[in-house]
Amino acid sequence: AIDNNKPVVALESTLISHGLPYPKNLEVAKASEDVVRSQGSIPATIAIINGKVKIGLNNNDMSILAESKNIKKVSRHNLVISLQNKDNAATTVASTIYLAALIGIKFFATGGIGGVHLDAENTFDISSDLNELSKTNMYVVCSGAKSILDLDKTYEKLETLGISRIGFNTDYMPGFWYYQTDKQVDYNYKTADELVNYLNIRENIKQDGSVLIFNPIPKEKAIKKKLIDDWIQSSIYKAKDKLINGKDLTPFLINEINILSKNETLKANMELIINNASIAGKLAAKYF
Ligand code: PSU
Ligand code: MN
C-alpha cells in the first residue's frame, strides 16, 4: 500500500491490551479497522508479535493482543527489549507513531494521547507520547488527551513542544470522555478539504513533528465533567494506596473508572476511538 501511494492509517495496540477489557477491546479493534476501510483507506494496526514488529495485523494477532494476560506495554524506552525477548507487546501512541513513520505512514488514530499526569510537579510523570509527537511526523486524530491527566498542563506542554493543536469542527481541545475543555485550539477547521490543505502547506515548509487533529466525542455520547472528576479523584486515591505508578498507572485508572462509572466511560471510550479512526480514514483518503 505504501509503495503504491495508497492512504494508510496506523492504529495503536495498547488500547486493545491495556485500555479496554476483553471482548470489547477486540470489537473496537476490528470496528476501527472496518471504519478506516469504509472511508477508502487501509488500516494498519501495529504491535510486536513474537518479537517482530508487525504493521498490519491478522485475526490471530488481534486475538492474542485482546485475550492474552501477559502482553507487555511498550513505548520508546522499552521497545527493543521486547524485540530481543521475543515478546508479544502492545505499542503505545509513542511507539506506534515512531514505527509507522519509519515505513512512511502519515495518518494515525487513537482515543486520547498520553500527557502530563496530575501531580506531575511531584512525580515527573509525563507520557513519552508528548516527546515522540514532537519528533515524529504524523497526523494524529484523537479526542485530546485522556481525562485522567492534567489537561491544562498537557495543553501548554503541547505548545512548548511545537505540536499543533488543530480542531476539526471544534473551538476547544476535547476532554476525551467529556466533550470539551476550556482550552482553545490553534484553529478550527470545518472541512476535510481545508484541513488537508493546511497539511500540504505544512509539508511545503518541511515542518517536523506531529499535528494533533482534535475530534471530540459526539455531544450526545459525552459524559459530564463533574461525574468524571469524582471518579478520577477516587481512583487516584486508590492508585496511591496500592502504590501503582509508572506505566501501570494509566491502565489502572482507566479500568477503575470503567468500574465506578458502570461502564459509561468504557462505552464513551469505544465510541470515540471508532469515531476518530473514521475521521483519520476520511482525511487520509482525501490527502492521497
Ligand atoms: N487511549 C485510549 N486508551 C489507552 C491509551 C490511549 O483510549 O489505553 C494508551 C495509549 O497507548 C497511550 C498510553 O500511548 O495509553 C499512554 O500511557 P502512558 O501514560 O503510560 O504513557
Ligand atoms: Mn507515565
Q: Is 112 in the pocket of ligand 1 (CB under 6 A)?
A: yes
Size of the chain in residues: 288
98: closest CA among 10, 179, 166?
A: 10
For 17, the grid coordinates are 491490551
Q: Are 65 and 16 in contact (CB under 8 A)?
A: yes
| pLDDT-based confidence at residue 261 (cuts at 50, 70, 90) | very high
Q: Is the CB of 271 under 6 A from ligand 1?
A: no
CA atoms within 13 A on the CB side of 93: 33
Summarised one tens digit per residue, pLDDT across range 216-229 is: 999 999 999 999 99
Gap between the Cα atoms of 269 and 3, Å rounded: 33
Which atom of ligand 1 approaches the CA of 250 most closely? 19
**Mean pLDDT over each residue of the chain, to the nearest integer:** 97
What is the spatial distance between Cα 277 and Cα 206, in angstroms, rounded to a whole number?
26
Distance separating alpha carbons of residues 203 and 116, to the nearest angstrom: 28
Q: What is the mean pLDDT of residues 76-83?
A: 98
The one-letter code for the residue type at 203 is: E
What is the reported pLDDT for 279? Answer: 98
Tens of pLDDT, residue by residue over 23-49, are 999 999 999 999 999 999 999 999 999
In angstroms, what CA-CA distances link 69 with 87, 90, 143?
A: 12, 12, 27
The set of cell numbers assigned to 145 is 488527551
Residue 20 is predicted with a pLDDT of: 96
- pLDDT digits 0-9 by tens, 87-129: 999 999 999 999 999 999 999 999 999 999 999 999 999 999 9
Distance 205 CA to ligand 1 centre (A): 31
pLDDT per position as a tens digit, 185-212:
999 999 999 999 999 999 999 999 999 9
Which atom in ligand 1 lies closest to the alpha carbon of residue 13? 11
| Mean pLDDT of the 55-82 span | 98
Residues forming the active site: 12, 146
CA dihedral 17, 51, 142, 191 (to 10 degrees): -130
169-174: average pLDDT: 98
Q: How many CB atoms lie within 10 A of CB 19?
A: 26
Name 24's Cβ contacts closer than 8 Å, sequence gap at least 6: 266, 270
Angstrom distance (rounded) from CA 19 to CA 25? 8
